[in-house]
């Protein structure tokens, strides 16, 4: 059974006397540790000074006790070591504050905190800001003596009157769940944070070291990027493949990412769990190396997720593929490798809501194709040729929508994706990809479905700037204009691939 300890302890007991008090038995010789998976120390000087001002206000208001927050600790297998899961920012700032007040015995500041630019800069900057406020005054006069007396009183108040609620658990997964629930108070958690907590609960059979490694990998990606990745890419692909409009990912529809639990025993669940176990077994063995075969892909975007550790592997797998697609420069020398279409879009067509929607459609359709038809390693020439043809078709499909609107919004885009629009080339690309068994059958279907645009169809203001009038009527001009190998107008690729008719 996992042990859980709740206590209230003073800052002085914790940081100076290395003791956690006010529990059944005081816990002594507490070695606080900032684990590698922790996010950087990001408190600024403003945050540090605000904490100091709050403490001074509490002291001047004669508050007997001042509760300064919650500290969540994971008791590791190392004797006396307690990893800080939540409360790192505050506890490091208290350590800096006491050091600025002349206390030199805080061991937390002596340990090597995970190398990071934020850590190095903010720790030094915040210490200097606090020292300027509370440091020793060297003048030998009455005011300096009085000031020094005040600072001694402040130091005593911080050490003996400022208290932390301390939560200690021996289960690292439980510690992270406390962290998520603690941070949910007063504000809504991101859907991906709820999913993180859910899948951590499904990892009962995973070692603490493995859990910490998984969480560290997760924390390497910013909250903004994770929110964008789940909300705009994974969620929308799943909805569009199912033939549904994709609105906003929230707590009410995250069930699609909870997947098959470890305890599920239905034939449906057993099938997907067996497929994952087979792929995991093959990939972790010497079989791919000995036989020269490719790694077995354990995931598909349009199939259920396996709860627990596979969810985090799934997230990392698709996040890396998406970044390779968007960066346009790698992935085993395969996929989008220095593609001229993408270079043109990156150079000229990234700003604005309409361009953002269209690029999202382009990227997600490519992500789904890569997931379904592109071998992860050792692509053949045929694999590459088929993929490059799909990139052209995906571009024509997505940017046919952009070309036909002066101002493009999500309502029009959703109707186009669902096949409900009257615009040219409206059909559900995602369902079409998911229904095909081979890339050649998909490309044949796209060749039948995609139609060219004419001058009258083009409403995009950028494209309209490329019109000129002459005796033969309105024609496109300047489509071949390019600079540093990048074309000035995306309609050039419509023209060169036979999807523009005059």
Q: Are 182 and 70 in contact (CB under 8 A)?
A: yes
pLDDT at 20 over 60: yes
Nearest to 460 by CA among 364, 365, 360, 353: 353
* Mean pLDDT, residues 17-40 taken together: 82
Q: Are 39 and 218 in contact (CB under 8 A)?
A: no
Nearest to 192 by CA among 227, 233, 238, 237: 227
25-29, 199-203, 289-293: least confident range? 289-293
d(CA 29, CA 441): 67
The rounded Cα 487 to chain-centroid distance in angstroms is 32
Nearest to 192 by CA among 324, 207, 200: 200
Q: What is the pTM of this model?
A: 0.66
Residue whose structure tokens are 């402040």: 154
Residue-averaged pLDDT of the chain? 82
pLDDT digits (tens, 9 = 90+) for 213-230: 888 888 888 888 999 999
* Mean pLDDT, residues 141-166 taken together: 86
The one-character DSSP state at 66 is E
Collapsed DSSP state (helix, strand, coil) of residue 502:
coil
Collapsed DSSP state (helix, strand, coil) of residue 308:
coil
Residue whose structure tokens are 């769990």: 273
Query: Which residues on adjacent β-strands are paired with residue 169?
Result: 4, 74
Q: Are 111 and 141 in contact (CB under 8 A)?
A: no
* Mean pLDDT, residues 100-123 taken together: 75
d(CA 233, CA 410): 15
Q: Are 433 and 372 in contact (CB under 8 A)?
A: yes
d(CA 124, CA 247): 44
Percent residues over pLDDT 90 in the chain = 34
Q: Residue 316: CB partners within 8 Å, gap ≥ 6?
A: 217
pLDDT band at 185 (very low <50, low <70, confident <90, very high): very low
Q: Residue 323: CB partners within 8 Å, gap ≥ 6?
A: none
Helix (H) or strand (E) holding 454: strand 453-454
Residue 334, pLDDT score: 46
* Mean pLDDT, residues 55-73 taken together: 88
pLDDT band at 87 (very low <50, low <70, confident <90, very high): confident
Residue 333, pLDDT score: 41
Collapsed DSSP state (helix, strand, coil) of residue 7:
strand
Rounded to whole angstroms, what are the CA distances from 22 to 14, 140, 170, 323?
12, 42, 19, 49
Q: CA dihedral defined by 156, 161, 162, 165, rounded to 10 degrees?
A: 140
pLDDT band at 319 (very low <50, low <70, confident <90, very high): very high
d(CA 372, CA 432): 12
d(CA 169, CA 27): 13
pLDDT band at 341 (very low <50, low <70, confident <90, very high): confident
pLDDT at 469 over 50: no
pLDDT at 332 over 50: no
Percent residues over pLDDT 70 in the chain = 82
pLDDT band at 293 (very low <50, low <70, confident <90, very high): low
| Residue 251 backbone zone (phi > 0: left; psi -120 to 50: alpha; other: beta) | alpha
Q: Are 487 and 395 in contact (CB under 8 A)?
A: no
Backbone phi and psi for residue 334, each to the nearest 5 degrees, phi listed first: -125, -170
pLDDT digits (tens, 9 = 90+) for 374-413: 887 777 889 888 999 999 999 999 999 999 999 999 999 9
Half-sphere exposure of residue 10: CA atoms within 13 angstroms, side-chain side: 14
In 220-286, which residue ranges form alpha helices assigned H by DSSP? 223-228, 235-241, 267-283
d(CA 194, CA 155): 39
pLDDT band at 475 (very low <50, low <70, confident <90, very high): very low
* Mean pLDDT, residues 53-79 taken together: 87
Rounded to whole angstroms, what are the CA distances from 35 to 44, 78, 85, 118, 151?
21, 13, 8, 16, 32
d(CA 409, CA 428): 17
pLDDT band at 419 (very low <50, low <70, confident <90, very high): very high
Helix (H) or strand (E) holding 86: strand 81-86
Residue whose structure tokens are 């199912």: 242
């Amino acid at each position: 059974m996992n042990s859980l300890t709740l206590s209230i302890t003073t800052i002085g007991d914790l940081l100076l006397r290395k003791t956690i008090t006010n529990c059944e038995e005081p816990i002594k010789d507490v070695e606080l540790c900032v684990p590698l998976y922790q996010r950087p120390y990001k408190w600024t000087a403003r945050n540090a000074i605000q904490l100091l001002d709050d403490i001074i206000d509490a002291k001047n208001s004669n508050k007997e006790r001042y509760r300064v927050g919650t500290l969540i600790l994971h008791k590791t297998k190392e004797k006396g070591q307690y990893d800080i899961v939540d409360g790192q920012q505050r506890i490091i700032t208290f350590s800096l504050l006491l050091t600025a007040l002349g206390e030199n015995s805080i061991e937390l500041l002596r340990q090597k905190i995970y190398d990071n630019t934020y850590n190095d800069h903010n720790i030094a900057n915040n210490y200097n800001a606090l020292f300027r406020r509370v440091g020793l005054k060297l003048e030998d006069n009455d005011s300096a003596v009085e000031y020094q007396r005040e600072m001694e009183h402040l130091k005593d108040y911080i050490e003996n009157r400022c208290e932390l609620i301390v939560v200690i658990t021996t289960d690292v997964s439980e510690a992270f769940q406390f962290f998520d629930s603690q941070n949910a108070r007063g504000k809504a958690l991101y859907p991906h944070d709820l999913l993180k907590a859910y899948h951590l609960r499904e990892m009962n059979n995973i070692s603490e070291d493995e859990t910490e490694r998984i969480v560290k990998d997760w924390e390497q990606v910013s909250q903004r990027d994770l929110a964008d990745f789940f909300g705009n890419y994974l969620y929308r692909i799943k909805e569009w493949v199912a033939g549904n409009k994709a609105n906003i990912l929230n707590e009410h529809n995250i069930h699609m990412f909870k997947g098959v639990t470890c305890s599920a025993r239905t034939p449906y669940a057993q099938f997907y769990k067996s497929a994952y176990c087979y792929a995991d077994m093959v990939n972790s063995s010497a079989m791919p190396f000995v036989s020269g075969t490719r790694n077995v892909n354990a995931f598909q975007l349009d199939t259920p997720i396996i709860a627990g550790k596979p969810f985090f592997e799934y997230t990392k797998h698709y996040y890396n593929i998406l970044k390779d697609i968007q960066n346009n420069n790698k992935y085993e020398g395969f996929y989008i490798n220095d593609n001229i279409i993408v270079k043109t879009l990156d150079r000229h067509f990234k700003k604005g809501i309409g361009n953002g929607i269209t690029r999202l459609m382009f990227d997600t359709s490519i992500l789904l194709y890569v997931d379904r038809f592109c071998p992860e390693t050792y692509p053949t020439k045929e694999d590459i040729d088929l993929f490059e043809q799909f990139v052209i078709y995906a571009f024509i499909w997505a940017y046919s929508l952009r070309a036909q609107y002066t101002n493009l919004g999500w309502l029009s885009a959703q109707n186009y994706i669902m096949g409900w629009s009257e615009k040219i080339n409206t059909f559900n690309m995602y369902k079409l990809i998911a229904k095909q068994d081979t890339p050649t059958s998909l490309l044949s279907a796209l060749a039948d479905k995609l139609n060219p645009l004419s001058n009258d169809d083009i409403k995009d203001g950028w494209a309209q700037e490329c019109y000129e009038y002459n005796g033969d009527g309105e024609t496109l001009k300047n489509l071949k204009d390019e600079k540093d190998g990048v074309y000035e107008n995306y309609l050039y690729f419509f023209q060169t691939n036979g999807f523009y008719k005059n």
